[in-house]
Amino acid sequence: MKSFFFKIFFPYFFILLFSISLIFLFTFFIIEKRIDKEIEERIIQATKAVKLSLRDYINEDENFLQEKLEGIGKDLNLRITLILLDGTVLADSHKNPKNMENHKNREEVQATIFGEPKVFKRYSQTLGKNMYYYALFVEGEKEEIILRVSFFTKTFSGIYRDIFYKSSIVVCVVLIISLLFAYFISYNFTRGLNEIYLFLLNLSKGNFEKRIYLKKPHELSELTKALNQTAEELQNLFYLEKKEKEEVQTFFENLKEGILILEELNLENVPAGEYTLVCAPLKLEGVEAAPARVFLIKD
């Protein structure tokens, strides 16, 4: 019955494993989306705050702006870039703008130029890191300047790791509980089936006296009641059959010895004494017994 146990246990376990994994991935996906949404809100707020702090300095020379951006970027752990409309980098908090390529075709710059600023996440070729980007216009005396603020994704990687770690622990705990639950359910179900199997095995060998009692599960409990009833009926049938065989055997043995069997003959009210018994059975062919008229003749 071990193979039957595993046939029940493993499918049940794998269904639980698949369901839990699916729930875990879906939950992590939802959390990831929620964190990304929060990051987008934070970078938008940070860009607006930087814009306000640069409002009084935006018309200063490039060297002053470079120093200012380096200071703000270091304090806020942000990368801040000022870009002209033609894509030329005016100042950057982390790199020398003279060594930076034209940024006009960057997604966040194009989105701002077309009046639809939005947050983008991509790999920075300049810094060699994954980053979040957002850009806004800043009013200058000569022309508008694009202010771009970037978040390093590693700033939030700890959040993802922490969520993944805690979620993994929860999944492992739930998986262990599910494993134990699957084992318990499979064991109890197969244990009942094993008892039924042994019961039927004894029944096939002619042991009709054995009974089986299971309380759980309800379906097996009802089945055992029916099996017990069947065993009882078989026991009665075999008992009657055995009794009939014994009676027939006794009849033929007595017949060989000249002894006739008269059934249902009541001599209770006959006075004690010596009598001659005359039995006159009906002459019937093909039967082992026949009705008879019996006479008692007092000697």
Tell me what pLDDT residue 254 has. 72
**Shared domain check, 123 and 10:** yes
Looking at the DSSP bridge assignments, the partners of residue 227 are none
**Shared domain check, 254 and 157:** no
Supply the mean pLDDT for the chain: 81
**Shared domain check, 95 and 16:** yes
Query: Could you tell me if 278 and 290 are in contact, meaning their C-beta atoms sit under 8 angstroms apart?
Result: no
Quick check: helix, strand or coil at residue 31? helix
Looking at the DSSP bridge assignments, the partners of residue 79 are 150
Tell me what pLDDT residue 217 has. 67
pLDDT tens digits, residue range 210-245?
A: 887 777 766 677 778 888 888 888 888 888 888 878
Write out the DSSP string of 177-243. Answer: HHHHHHHHHHHHHHHHHHHHHHHHHHHHTT--S------SSHHHHHHHHHHHHHHHHHHHHHHHHHH
The CATH number covering residue 149 comes to: 3.30.450.20
pLDDT level of residue 180 (50, 70, 90 thresholds)? confident
Q: How far apart are the C-alpha atoms of 5 and 188, rounded to whole Å? A: 10
pLDDT level of residue 4 (50, 70, 90 thresholds)? low
Tell me what pLDDT residue 102 has. 92
Tell me what pLDDT residue 136 has. 93
pLDDT of residue 6 exceeding 70: no
**Shared domain check, 111 and 46:** yes
Residue 167 lies in a domain: no
**Shared domain check, 211 and 158:** no
pLDDT of residue 280 exceeding 70: yes
pLDDT level of residue 174 (50, 70, 90 thresholds)? confident
Give the pTM.
0.50
Residue 190 lies in a domain: no
pLDDT tens digits, residue range 38-56?
A: 888 888 998 999 988 888 8
pLDDT of residue 30 exceeding 70: yes
Give me the number of domains the chain comprises: 2
**Shared domain check, 9 and 106:** yes
pLDDT of residue 17 exceeding 80: no
pLDDT level of residue 3 (50, 70, 90 thresholds)? low
**Shared domain check, 8 and 151:** yes
At a CB cut-off of 8 Å and minimum separation 6, what does 200 contact?
Answer: 227
Residue 179 lies in a domain: no
Domain boundary among 134, 162, 190: 162
pLDDT of residue 290 exceeding 90: no
**Shared domain check, 143 and 11:** yes
Residue 15 lies in a domain: yes
**Shared domain check, 106 and 224:** no
Tell me what pLDDT residue 158 has. 63
Q: How far apart are the C-alpha atoms of 78 and 149, rounded to whole Å? A: 7
Tell me what pLDDT residue 1 has. 52
pLDDT level of residue 204 (50, 70, 90 thresholds)? confident
Q: How far apart are the C-alpha atoms of 50 and 73, rounded to whole Å? A: 9
pLDDT tens digits, residue range 76-135?
A: 888 999 999 999 999 999 889 888 889 999 999 999 999 999 999 887 776 677 788 999
What is the span of the domain harbouring residue 256?
206-265
**Shared domain check, 70 and 7:** yes
Tell me what pLDDT residue 218 has. 67
Using a pLDDT cut of 90, give the percent of the chain over it: 13
Quick check: helix, strand or coil at residue 143? coil
Both tokens of 299, joined, read: 């000697």
**Shared domain check, 125 and 12:** yes
Q: How far apart are the C-alpha atoms of 191 and 197, rounded to whole Å? A: 10
pLDDT of residue 157 exceeding 70: no
Tell me what pLDDT residue 148 has. 94
Residue 83 lies in a domain: yes
Task: Give the mean model confidence (pLDDT) for residues 2-22.
Answer: 73
Q: Which residue has the higher pLDDT, 12 or 95?
A: 95
